[in-house]
Amino acid sequence: MSHYASVSTPKAGSLKVPTGIFINNEWSPSSSGETFSTVNPATNKPLLDISHATKDDVDRAVKAARKAFETTWANNVTAAERGRLLFKLADLMERDTDKLAAVESLNTGKGVRMARTVDLADSIACLRYYAGLADKLHGTTIDNYAKEKFIYTIQQPIGYLSPLRADGSIPWNYPIQMWAWKIAPALAAGCCVVMKPSELTPLTALMLSDLVAEAGFPPGVFNTVPGLGATTGDAIARHDDIDKVAFTGSVLTGRKISIAAAESNLKKVTLELGGKSPIVIFDSADVEEAADWAACAIWFNSGQDCCAGSRVYVQQGAYEGFVKALKARAEATAIGQPEDEKTSFGPLISQLQRDKVLRYIDSGKAEGATVVTGGRKWAPGGEGFWIEPTILTDIKQDMTVIREEIFGPVVCVSTFDDETEGVAMANNTTYGLAAAVFTNDTRQATRVSRALNAGTVWINEYMLVDNGAPFGGFKQSGIGRELGVNGMETYMQVKAVHQNLTQTSPWPL
């Protein structure tokens, strides 16, 4: 039986996409024969039916990963060879960029230009970063005992683990990029992987599985088990032979995974969760420049971004000019069909998500907020799940729209009087993923960036991450870090080795 199906893309024509379960570099159907469906968010029309991995399928994948880890990957493949394979995988992704971007755009609704020049480019760079880092992590020596003993530490891979890239309600926003963020450091560290892609956007993760095999990774090192969070995801989180789960998604699902990890084998957990990220703009800032970055912060990826700058606090003197400038950018946003090269703002992922965002806008209006622009559906031909770029003002700090993560193209703009008040308003949240400060006072920039409670703080810019810089959240925005050396270290464990040189046993004491 074939485990591929054809999908028609506006940019790359008809492409074959895997629809099965990927274990030991081979495709198979679900043990139950069940499938789940995917939908094109720009048309609300069905795409492909994908095999739904059962608990037994997850167990098969974990056994394959365990065998590969114990017999091949951890002990018989050098760090330099792991790096070489990651470089090869990056080259294959670069070769297939147009195909991958076309399918990513089709499945997620994001503009194909954005998928190609941002998501694919950054993901390939991430693989190459960790390919180069694979043989450059070192232990330490501890010289506290002179001639008596020698102590040193070594870093070893955790083992077989599962990056749950898309369990839950929202981690479908960057399927290729989150795939790269998870698998690159894990494989570089010497771990084996069981990957569960999003049930909403699994297509490119399945295509990338074929590239893993083509690159020459040994069977079992990387496995893909598509399925729903409540079934496949839960089986992964509770599996006693998985040593770590790395998850990107909602706080609610992160809590469930933490509970499942604690109730099973106390597996390690890395969580990159939600955000309600603030932007603080001072009177000294360049208002037009701040508006450019603030527009990018909230309307990039149609607002479906964990670190979207959804709360903007503007000092009184700059407020009126900023709102005017931001409104102009909202109304000039390149909203359109995903296949259009000009499009930077596509539909939301689903009708459920679109309707959720509309309810937030309605709640804001009901609580006294003013809609400066946007706030309505935008559906050419009556299909798809677009919402116009939306600005809300007249915000009170107890409003639902200012407290809860909307995960859509809605920004709340408020005013403040002085630095102390601006920082306090920015920090008044249960989240702490990202933040930004706009000012031309360098001392103020340093003070405020230090005071903001967030894992990433930008000064006079927003949204730009770097593969060499750690990314993760404070408070309820997560546990652990991704990217950079810190991101690779989360897939490793430190062992201290004590070697006796001259000491005699103190027994009996």
Distance, in Å, from the CA atom of 86 to the CA atom of 73, rounded to the nearest integer, reads 13
CATH number of the domain at 4-273+473-494, please?
3.40.605.10
Contact call for residues 347 and 383 (beta carbons, < 8 A): no
- The 10s digit of each residue's pLDDT in 111-131 is 999 999 999 999 999 999 999
Tokens 């009708």, located at residue: 351
pLDDT of residue 164: 40
Q: Could you tell me the CA-to-CA distances from 245 to 13, 180, 187, 327 in Å, in that order? A: 36, 15, 14, 41
State mean pLDDT over 104-110.
Answer: 97
Which H or E element spans position 227?
A: none
Distance, in Å, from the CA atom of 152 to the CA atom of 343, rounded to the nearest integer, reads 54
pLDDT of residue 401: 98
Contact call for residues 253 and 409 (beta carbons, < 8 A): no
Domain span(s) for CATH 3.40.605.10 in the chain: 4-273+473-494
Q: Could you tell me the CA-to-CA distances from 391 to 251, 314, 336 in Å, in that order? A: 25, 14, 19
Looking at the chain, the whole-number percentage of residues with pLDDT higher than 70 is 97
Distance, in Å, from the CA atom of 197 to the CA atom of 172, rounded to the nearest integer, reads 8
- The 10s digit of each residue's pLDDT in 41-74 is 999 999 999 999 999 999 999 999 999 999 999 8
Tokens 């893909």, located at residue: 224
pLDDT of residue 170: 38
Contact call for residues 491 and 185 (beta carbons, < 8 A): yes
pLDDT of residue 168: 28
User: At how many degrees (to 10) do helices 79-95 and 203-215 cross?
Assistant: 130
pLDDT of residue 148: 87
- The 10s digit of each residue's pLDDT in 305-351 is 999 999 999 999 999 999 999 999 999 999 999 999 999 999 999 99
pLDDT of residue 21: 98
Give this prediction's pTM.
0.95
Tokens 């969760």, located at residue: 273
Q: How confident is the model at residue 144 (pLDDT cuts 50, 70, 90)?
A: confident
pLDDT of residue 165: 33
Q: How confident is the model at residue 288 (pLDDT cuts 50, 70, 90)?
A: very high
State mean pLDDT over 132-155.
Answer: 90
- The 10s digit of each residue's pLDDT in 256-282 is 999 999 999 999 999 999 999 999 999
Contact call for residues 447 and 426 (beta carbons, < 8 A): no
Distance, in Å, from the CA atom of 93 to the CA atom of 424, rounded to the nearest integer, reads 44
pLDDT of residue 163: 55
Q: How far apart are the first and last CA of the chain?
A: 70
pLDDT of residue 38: 97
Contact call for residues 193 and 225 (beta carbons, < 8 A): no
- The 10s digit of each residue's pLDDT in 193-215 is 999 999 999 999 999 999 999 99
* Backbone φ and ψ of 237, nearest 5°: -60, -30
Q: How confident is the model at residue 145 (pLDDT cuts 50, 70, 90)?
A: confident
Instruction: Compare 142 and 369 and report the one with higher pLDDT.
Output: 369
Mean pLDDT of the chain: 94
Whether 187 has a pLDDT exceeding 80, the answer reads yes
pLDDT of residue 74: 81
Which H or E element spans position 430?
A: none
Looking at the chain, the whole-number percentage of residues with pLDDT higher than 90 is 90
pLDDT of residue 326: 98
Give the helix ranges, DSSP H, for 228-315.
Answer: 234-237, 251-263, 287-299
Distance, in Å, from the CA atom of 330 to the CA atom of 322, rounded to the nearest integer, reads 12
* Token pair belonging to 299: 């309307």
Q: How confident is the model at residue 143 (pLDDT cuts 50, 70, 90)?
A: confident
Give the max Cα distance, the chain: 86
Cite the active site residues. Answer: 272
pLDDT of residue 90: 98
- 278-459 domain in CATH 3.40.309.10? yes
Nearest alpha carbon to residue 120 among 196, 185, 11, 208: 208
Domain span(s) for CATH 3.40.309.10 in the chain: 278-459
Which H or E element spans position 33?
A: none
Whether 504 has a pLDDT exceeding 90, the answer reads no
Whether 353 has a pLDDT exceeding 80, the answer reads yes
- The 10s digit of each residue's pLDDT in 354-388 is 999 999 999 999 999 999 999 999 887 778 999 99
Distance, in Å, from the CA atom of 350 to the CA atom of 38, rounded to the nearest integer, reads 10
Contact call for residues 373 and 327 (beta carbons, < 8 A): yes
Coil, helix or strand at residue 496:
strand
Contact call for residues 141 and 222 (beta carbons, < 8 A): no
State mean pLDDT over 100-109.
Answer: 97
Chain mean position to CA 98: 22
State mean pLDDT over 482-499.
Answer: 94
Whether 303 has a pLDDT exceeding 90, the answer reads yes
Contact call for residues 313 and 279 (beta carbons, < 8 A): yes
